Amino acid sequence: MTSSPELAPTIIAPRTPQRRTRGRTNTELYAWLFMRVSGILLVVLVLGHLLIMNILDGGVQRINFGFVAGRWASPFWQVWDLLMLWLAQIHGTNGLRTIINDYTRKDQTRFWLKMALYTASALVIALGTLVIFTFDPNIN
Amino acid sequence: MTSVAERPAVTPVDAPVSRPVEVKIRRYNPEVSEDVTWVTYTVEAFPADRVLNLLMKIKGEQDGTLTFRRSCAHGVCGSDAMRINGVNRLACKVLMKDMPDRLTIEPIKGLPVEKDLVVDMEPFFEAYRAVKPFLITGGNEPSKEWLQSQADRDRFDDTTKCILCAACTTSCPVFWTDGSYFGPAAIVNAHRFIFDSRDQGAEERLEILNDREGVWRCRTTFNCTEACPRGIQITKAIAEVKQALLFRRV
């Protein structure tokens, strides 16, 4: 059987490594994973927070400035609250981001809604972090 | 002596009884008007009729302008996916004995409607082509048959059943609003090759599905699994692709 050389398929050597098509971007993968991991952590953090604040030791009635000052004197509760703030904010922001992606129809709307979301989220995170670290129990 | 077999007793079977069914259909013909109208037809339906039979009766006896796709009419070709009473079904697989006396029929959602129940399937097939739904191998052609164990075959058996009717993709809320999402059907067909032991293009396909509009947009609402006329566990297949991406393991 004869075949014209230009029609013969080029055969790649069996051990040729596969070419990577393009750089792999894992942003969405990490966002997806973050939602799961932060969700599990938040169950512990938030339920623990609610239990301490509302049920143990007389519950919500005992919460006042002094109570908060006492808690934030301990680095443990500072880290607890900081983690809760950051995880809940990023978790919620990412959730809203996907909702905006799902429901907006115009690119313009999508862009501005996301900008509003990111701004609000960054403000809350910054303000919350600032308060946790610079809280002054002797304020008048 | 010959014995004559007694005639088996014939149990009388009642002749099937038909009932009138109101079929409300979303009509759209851009050559006449840009407006969508809803037209209600009343047809006699027998319990063994499929919804497709009713559509053909309407087209044949009442209104020849009614337009819909159908080909094999036996649930194999996947041409007649439509939204029947709010859920995506193949009109040729829905028996009238299971349906109420009022039907509402619309074209599948999320794809541009061309006329009546006919939609432009091109965006759907574009996503299908993007995942390279063909065997990718390197090296020399094998000199003998490529054997595959039963276990290897079972790994992707479910996703080989897809007939590309688009019932799943057009039932997906993410696809409705974001047309650039690959959609369940494309992921199912990528899954079919990613988990095929003979195929070597898994990495390539996984990278395509790792994209912004890929598997991570899936919200696991299970609409696709519910809509699939072939009973493919679509949401499970998507989850398996996610896992393969997460753990780099096929």
B212 part of contact set with chain A, CB < 8 Å = yes
Q: What percent of chain A has pLDDT over 70?
A: 82
Domain that holds residue A37: 28-134
- In chain A, how many domains are there? 1
**A56 assigned to some structural domain:** yes
Which pLDDT band, with edges at 50, 70 and 90, does A1 fall under? very low
pLDDT digits (tens, 9 = 90+) for B24-44: 999 999 999 999 999 999 999
pLDDT tops 60 at residue A21: no
pLDDT digits (tens, 9 = 90+) for B145-165: 888 999 999 999 999 999 999
**A1 assigned to some structural domain:** no
**A20 assigned to some structural domain:** no
Task: Look at A16 and B139 and tell me if their CB atoms are within 8 Å.
Answer: yes
Q: Which of A119-128, B103-112, B204-213 has the lowest mean pLDDT?
A: B204-213
Q: Domain of A95: which CATH number?
A: 1.20.1300.10
**A85 assigned to some structural domain:** yes
Q: Chain-wide mean pLDDT for chain B?
A: 92
Least CB–CB distance from B140: residue in A14, A20, A26: A14
B211 part of contact set with chain A, CB < 8 Å = yes
**A3 assigned to some structural domain:** no
| pTM for this predicted structure | 0.83
In a mutagenesis test of the A interface, which of B136, B211, B216 is the best target, namely the one with the most A β-carbons within 10 Å? B216
Where is pLDDT greater, at A136 or B100?
B100
**A103 assigned to some structural domain:** yes
**A88 assigned to some structural domain:** yes
**A139 assigned to some structural domain:** no
Task: Look at B204 and A27 and tell me if their CB atoms are within 8 Å.
Answer: no
Q: Which of A13-22, B46-55, B187-196 has the lowest mean pLDDT?
A: A13-22
Complex ipTM value: 0.74
Spell out the SS3 assignment of chain B.
CCCCCCCCCCCCCCCCCCEEEEEEEEEEECCCEEEEEEEEEEEEECCCCEHHHHHHHHHHHHCCCCCCCCCCCCCCCCCCEEEECCEEEEHHHCEHHHCCCEEEEECCCCCCEEECCEECCHHHHHHHHHCCCCCCCCCCCCCCCCCCCHHHHHCCCHHHHCCCCCCCHHHCHHHHHCCCCCCHHHHHHHHHHHCCCCCCCHHHHHHHHCCCCCHHHCCCCCHHHHHCCCCCCHHHHHHHHHHHHHHCCC
pLDDT digits (tens, 9 = 90+) for A127-139: 999 999 888 888 7
